[in-house]
Amino acid sequence: MSVEASVTPSHTVLLVDDDPRLAPLVTRLLGILGFASVEVAPDAAAARAILASTGIVLVICDLALPGEDGLSLLRWVRGTDGLRNVPFIVTEETFSFEDVIAADELGADGILLKPYDSELFRTKIAAAVGGSARRRRKTRGERMPLEGNAAFAGSLWGLRARMADGGTP
């Protein structure tokens, strides 16, 4: 399913990133994909306020935020009724193995390295909003397996293999 086929003009994406130069680029890329509205939050506190008051269909969140980090926000989203199934993509310039594992364990629907490759960006967004992202059970604390998100699982297992062979992420 294409991103454009699953997006309506009322669909809003939340970008959580403290780099003000990134918002126009992401907004443009998301506009090309059919999203008419992008809310921008510079930190987790502002993101929580937006999530509590706006119908967000996707969160794209930087890992390194001032104050509270992106993984903490992800944990909060996954523990909040009404938000737990909102697709959540974690971004960063570099990821440690521990960051990738933590993102997976907390229920991230994908990871994206900055700077964004436009085709990979499109693919990750399509997987998240097109229905192939992971869905969570209603009971808190239960994790869904990676089988619903083959791209994320493949990148995770590929990273684990490279790290086991002495490589870098």
| 167 has pLDDT over 80 | no
Sequence-distant (≥ 6) Cβ neighbours of residue 113 within 8 angstroms: 91, 92, 93, 94, 95
Topology annotation, domain 3-164: Rossmann fold (3.40.50)
Q: How far apart are CA 162 and CA 168, in angstroms?
A: 7
- Provide the mean pLDDT of the chain: 80
* Residue spans per domain, the chain: 3-164
pLDDT number for residue 8 = 52
| 75 has pLDDT over 90 | yes
